[in-house]
Amino acid sequence: MLTLFAGLLVYLAVPNMGTVIRAARADGTPGVFVPRELFCVQHPGHESCVWTGEFRSADGMTRRDEVEMYGSDRVSHREGEPAPAVDVGAASRVYGPGGSNEWVFTALLFAAALAIVWFLYGGPLRRALGQRSRPAMRARRSASGPGTDTMGQ
């Protein structure tokens, strides 16, 4: 079961790696985000909001409607006022010019998968590799012969 769970984590993490790396570096098409609508959800103890609107590239070649601005909240924008943004190719969102920290979650998913695999198979793998190397170490010791250590004489 744990192997399947590790596989699921890799399945969730790997397809997003390119996008989150580009988003972290703000590597994409520069332009402006024009906020149109604020969507908020009330959670126990806090509120989560995001602005949706339009992205227009600086060269005027790209226009995307109904995209979210990653990291936006109630006070980060005002309706209709353009803000610098970068389109990194994410399906429904654009990012500020400072990039994002989404890569952290993706890296944690991948690291958790590696930790599970290491926990399950690292010991047997180490033992298998250790058994192969022990005869080689014995052969090297016997080739050097007894009495090659002159320190104790």
Residues 52-73 have pLDDT tens digits of: 999 999 999 999 999 999 999 9
**CA–CA separation, 132 and 111 (whole Å):** 28
Is residue 150 scored above 60 in pLDDT? no
Task: Tell me which residue of 105, 47, 89, 90 sits closest to 72, measured CA to CA.
Answer: 47
Residue 150 lies inside a defined structural domain of this protein:
no
Residue pLDDT, tens place only, 95-122: 999 999 989 999 999 999 999 998 888 8
Q: How big is the CA angle at 17 (ends 16 and 20), to the nearest 5 degrees?
A: 80
Say if residue 65 is in the same domain as residue 109: no
Q: What is the mean pLDDT of residues 129-142?
A: 59
Co-location of 91 and 36 in the same domain: yes
φ, ψ at 93 (rounded to 5°):
-150, 155
Residues 6+ apart with CB under 8 A from 91: none
- Both 32 and 93 in one domain: the answer is yes
> What's the number of domains the chain is made of?
2
Q: What is the mean pLDDT of residues 113-133?
A: 77
34 and 90 in one domain? yes
Residues 32 and 88 in one domain: yes
Task: Report if residue 61 sits inside a domain.
Answer: yes
Residue 142's pLDDT band (boundaries 50, 70, 90)?
Answer: low
Rg of the chain over Cα atoms, rounded to whole angstroms, equals 27
pLDDT at 149: 53
* Amino acid code (one letter) for 69: M
CB half-sphere exposure, 135, CA atoms < 13 A: 4
Instruction: Give me the domain span that covers residue 38.
Output: 27-99
Give the pLDDT confidence of 16-33 residue by residue, as tens digits. 899 999 999 999 999 999
In the predicted structure, residue 125 carries a pLDDT above the cut 80: no
pTM of the model: 0.70
Q: Is residue 144 in some structural domain?
A: no
How far, in Å, CA of 80 to CA of 24, rounded? 26
Q: What is the pLDDT of residue 109?
A: 94
33 with 88, same domain: the answer is yes
Domain annotation covers residue 62: yes
Domain membership of residue 147 (yes or no) is no
Q: Is the domain of 31 the same as that of 89?
A: yes
142 in a domain, yes or no?
no
- Reduce the DSSP state of residue 30 to 3 states and report it: strand
Same structural domain for residues 6 and 55?
no
The pLDDT, as a whole number, for residue 145 is: 57
In degrees and rounded to multiples of 5, residue 121 shows phi and psi of: -120, -5
Same structural domain, 58 and 107: no
CB under 8 Å to 47, separation ≥6 — which residues? 40, 41, 74
Q: Where are any strands of DSSP class E within 15-119?
A: 29-43, 46-57, 63-69, 83-87, 93-94
Asked if the structure places residue 153 within a domain, the reply is no
- Per-residue pLDDT, averaged over 72-96, amounts to 95
* Residue-level pLDDT at 66: 95
- Identify whether 54 is part of a domain: yes
Between CA 73 and CA 36 the distance in angstroms is 13
